[in-house]
Structure 1
Amino acid sequence: MPKMRSKADLPSKTCTVCRRPFAWRKRWARVWETIDTCSDRCRDQARRARRAAR
């Protein structure tokens, strides 16, 4: 039986929008290096900020 990992053992990053830490998720395995926001809400907020900066 595989050993269970705790969340503390997983890699984490800090969200570029809200500055909160967030942990690695299995669905992000292929794109972990490109992830910079913790949620859809933060991602949308970052997009709005980039559009407003144009």
Structure 2
Amino acid sequence: MARQRKKSDLPQKICPVCHRPFTWRKKWADCWDGVKYCSERCRRRKSDANC
């Protein structure tokens, strides 16, 4: 059985829309380098961040 990692040990990024940190998720394992936004809501509001 694999050891559990603490959430604080996972990589983090800052969302450019809401400026909040978000951590790595298992569903992003294959595309973590391409993940920019913390949620669908922020992805849809990305044009607001360019102001």
Identity value in percent = 50
* Paired letter, 2:24: W
Task: Name the CA distance, whole Å, in 1 between partners of 2:2 and 2:35.
Answer: 27
* Paired letter, 1:15: C
Report matched runs for 1:1-54 at 5 Å.
Answer: 1-46=1-46, 49=47
Gaps of 5+ in 1: none
Greater relative contact order (Cα 8 A, min sep 6): structure 1 or 2?
Answer: 2
- Residue correspondences, number: 49
Q: Larger C-alpha radius of gyration, 1 or 2?
A: 1
Over 4 Å off, 4+ runs: none
**TM-score of the pair, normalised by structure 2:** 0.85
Please give the root-mean-square deviation of Cα atoms over the aligned residues, in Å.
1.6
